[in-house]
Amino acid sequence: MSAIRLLVLGAVRQHGRAHGYQVRNDLEFWGAHEWSNAKPGSIYHALKQMAKQGLMRAHDIAPSTAGGPPRTEYELTAAGEEEYFRLLRKSLLEHGQKLDELTAGVGFIVDLTRAEAIGLLKQRVAALEGWREEVTRHWMPAKGTPEEWGHIGEIMKFWLHSADSGAEWTRGLIERLEGGAYVMAGEGERSVDVLVDASPPDHDESH
């Protein structure tokens, strides 16, 4: 999957309707340009591409009083809503994806119900434990010590460490969610503001 698709779908969804500059500002506010490929060009390309694919509906609205071309606002279609939740669930469930995909999923985890989020994360832990077992069984040297493979053994150490640390972090998040942390879908208003109130400059309104 692509983290940029999940990020852009999620950002537009939080506004209801949003133009490219709002999406870009939100993702920069979240630091996504540092840990993902959420650069301006990628954001605008994703918006236009997903509109062509029927995942978003594009609305041309009047230009600002200062002039310039009309601004395009986007909103998710029913297909876009379905794709958003498919990508969100996938990002939390699968253990072998890139870090930016998991990070994007955690950023939108509150759009799931508490029960579903916990269920997905428990499946993630089970997948990590299964992967660790597979690495140990099939890839470790016969005597069970990575050192016997020289520096190549560091790969096995890294895989095992990644599985252990990933499972530990996931269990901690499960525990926090089970303890009532965060306001999940259907539980009421959220107190943390994750949207940026910003208007685009006139020259950027065509995006």
CATH 3.40.109.10, applies to 3-105: no
Q: What is the pLDDT of residue 203?
A: 46
pLDDT above 50 (res 206): no
Domain ranges of the chain: 3-105, 113-178
Residue 140 near residue 154, CB atoms below 8 Å: no
pLDDT above 90 (res 153): no
Under the banding of pLDDT at 50, 70 and 90, the label for residue 110 is very high
| CA separation for the pair 176, 182 (Å, rounded) | 9
- What is the mean predicted confidence (pLDDT) over 20-38? 89
| CA separation for the pair 26, 13 (Å, rounded) | 12
Under the banding of pLDDT at 50, 70 and 90, the label for residue 98 is confident
pLDDT above 90 (res 68): no
Tell me which of 86-90, 134-138, 191-195 is least confident: 191-195
pLDDT above 50 (res 207): no
139: tokens are 């890839």
Give 112's contacts (C-beta < 8 A, 6+ positions apart): 85, 88, 89, 120, 184, 185
- What is the mean predicted confidence (pLDDT) over 161-181? 96
Q: What is the pLDDT of residue 204?
A: 47
Under the banding of pLDDT at 50, 70 and 90, the label for residue 205 is very low
Residue 14 near residue 26, CB atoms below 8 Å: yes
Tell me which of 16-25, 104-113, 139-148 is least confident: 139-148
Interhelix angle 20-29/40-52, rounded to 10 degrees, is 130
Q: What is the pLDDT of residue 155?
A: 84
Look over the chain and give the mean of its residue pLDDT values, rounded to a whole number. 86
Residues linked to residue 67 through DSSP beta bridges, in sequence order? 64
Q: What is the pLDDT of residue 138?
A: 75
Q: What is the pLDDT of residue 44?
A: 93
With CA atoms as reference, report the closest residue to 125 among 168, 185, 82.
168
Residue 62 near residue 5, CB atoms below 8 Å: no
Q: What is the CA radius of gyration of the chain?
A: 21
Please say whether the dihedral angle defined by the alpha carbons of residues 116, 121, 123 and 124, taken in this order, is positive or negative.
Answer: positive
Terminal C-alpha separation, the chain: 24
| 117-145 confidence digits (pLDDT tens) | 999 999 999 999 999 998 888 776 655 56
Q: What is the pLDDT of residue 201?
A: 52
